[in-house]
């Protein structure tokens, strides 16, 4: 059974499932780059009128839509697409062997502290709102992150970034001076 939850972004909705949607963590897909995708579920979802971005996580997916379509029209289509997938497939939409290699050299002790705070304190809160936060870099006291899913383009994302993420990182990692969105 698929349930929905609103997010702080009125153009984004979170679809929750008891099935595992992604076993590789959180991944974001944009309509503008959909021609390069090989996953048929994601390609078809991005082909729906008004869908501009899809974020898949372990037990939910978030859909960000344009203003041209209403949730009354789009929501049943997304739920039907998800239900149809899980009726015909017993495996997650994103499987371990599909993982995109995003490994980077994170041997730096400060970066490891930043990643730990992001993973334990910040990511769970952002996921509740149907989004994700990805670490990009740390240089000269500045942490660069990318907000994804419901959080990208959300009116309150800058406030979340500055008041929430920046304050937490500065509290737990003394070397952090500020946080910026990439």
118 belongs to a structural domain:
yes
Query: Of the candidates 65, 98, 131, which is a domain's last residue?
Result: 98
- Gap between the Cα atoms of 141 and 98, Å rounded: 34
Residue 180 scores a pLDDT above 60: yes
More confident residue, 181 or 21: 21
SS3 string, the chain, reads: CCEEEECCCCCEEEEECCCCCECCCCEEEEHHHHHHCCCHHHHHHHHCCCEEEEEECCCEEEEEECCCCCHHHHHHHHHHHHHHHHHHCCCCCECHHHCCCCCCCCCCHHHHHHHHHHHHHHHHHHHHCCEEEEEEEEECCEEEEEEEECCCCCCCHHHHHHHHHHHHHHHHCCCCCEEEEC
Find the domain containing 138 and state its range: 109-181
Average pLDDT of the segment spanning 7-27? 91
Which of 63, 98, 133 marks a domain boundary? 98
Query: Percent of the chain at pLDDT above 70?
Result: 88
In a domain? residue 28? yes
Q: Give the residue from 98, 120, 145 where a domain finishes.
A: 98
How many structural domains comprise the chain?
Answer: 2
What's the confidence (pLDDT) of residue 104? 45
pLDDT digits (tens, 9 = 90+) for 136-174: 888 888 898 888 877 666 666 667 677 788 888 988 888
Q: For 82-124, how does the pLDDT look when each residue is reduced to its tens digit (9 = 90+)?
A: 999 999 988 999 987 644 434 344 448 888 889 888 888 888 8
In a domain, residue 103? The reply is no
Residues 82 and 152 in one domain: no
Mean pLDDT of 72-86: 94
β-pairing, 142-149 vs 178-181, is parallel
Query: What pLDDT does 157 receive?
Result: 67
- The answer to whether the pTM exceeds 0.95 is no
Which sign does the torsion angle of CA 131, 135, 139, 140 carry? positive
pLDDT at residue 158, rounded to an integer: 64
pLDDT at 123: 82
Tell me which range, 5-9, 12-16, 87-91, 125-129, is most confidently predicted by mean pLDDT. Answer: 12-16
CATH number of the domain that residue 142 is part of: 3.30.300.130
Residues 119 and 81 in one domain: no
Residue 16 within any structural domain of the chain: yes
Q: Are residues 40 and 60 in the same domain?
A: yes
């Amino acid at each position: 059974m698929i349930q929905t939850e609103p997010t702080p972004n009125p153009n984004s909705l979170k679809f929750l499932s008891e099935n595992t949607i992604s076993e590789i963590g959180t991944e974001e897909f944009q309509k503008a780059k959909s021609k390069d995708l090989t996953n048929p579920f994601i390609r078809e979802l991005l082909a729906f009128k008004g869908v501009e971005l899809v974020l898949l996580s372990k037990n939910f997916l978030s859909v960000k839509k344009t203003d041209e379509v209403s949730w009354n029209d789009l929501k049943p289509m997304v739920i039907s697409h998800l239900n149809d997938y899980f009726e015909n497939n017993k495996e997650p939409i994103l499987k371990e062997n599909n993982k995109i290699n995003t490994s980077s050299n994170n041997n730096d002790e400060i970066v490891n502290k930043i990643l730990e705070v992001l993973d334990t304190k910040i990511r769970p809160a952002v996921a509740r709102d149907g989004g994700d936060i990805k670490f990009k870099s740390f240089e000269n006291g500045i942490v660069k992150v990318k907000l994804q899913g419901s959080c990208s383009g959300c009116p309150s994302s800058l406030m979340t970034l500055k008041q929430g993420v920046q304050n937490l990182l500065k509290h737990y990692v003394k070397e952090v001076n500020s946080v910026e969105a990439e």
